Amino acid sequence: MKKLLIALSIGGCALLLVAGGLYWMLRAPVPSEGDVVGLYTGSKDGYFDQVEIMPDHRFIQTLKKPSGETITIEGTWTLKNRGLLLGDYSFFIDTDTDKALIEPRSSSSFPFTVFPDSLIYDWGSSYYKLTKP
């Protein structure tokens, strides 16, 4: 009986944490374009990614590869609710293996979800996060 009560209490705590997280996401204000503007950075497997979101709906991505080569890409962005689409963004992670690609792939419309001070691309089995420094 004691083990059952402990299990129920742990399960209840976990449920409260999940419900609290969902409540926060649903209650958090939808970001404005001004909230999204800024410099974001991220890294994985030797790649260093820097994205500057500008108020005029342009962005500049500077992607430094493990070899030291730097790629600079310019594109445009669109915000809809919590979704930020970056046109011509170069992504360097293979979402099947969660490992870095040899060469990044450009996307005509790359989707990030906007959170306070971060952008997250989630593909189910993992995610990639850019944060404001």
pLDDT tens, per residue, the chain with 133 residues: 666 656 556 655 545 444 545 555 556 789 999 999 999 999 999 999 999 999 999 999 999 999 999 999 999 999 999 999 999 999 999 999 999 998 999 998 999 999 999 999 999 999 999 999 8
* Letter string b/e over residues 59-84, b meaning 16 or more CB atoms within 10 A of that residue's CB: bebebbbeeeeeeebebebebeeeeb
Which long-range contacts does 24-29 make (Cβ < 8 Å, 24+ apart)? Answer: 28/116
How many beta carbons lie within 10 A of that of residue 110, not counting itself? 19
How close are the terminal C-alpha atoms of the chain, in Å? 50
Cα–Cα nearest to 92, from 59, 133, 58, 130? 130
Query: What are the helix (H) ranges across 1-133?
Result: 2-27, 33-36
How many beta carbons lie within 10 A of that of residue 6, not counting itself? 10
Q: How far is CA 11 from the centre of its chain?
A: 29
What CATH number matches the domain at 33-131, 2.40.128.50, 3.40.640.10, 3.40.630.10, 2.60.15.10? 2.40.128.50
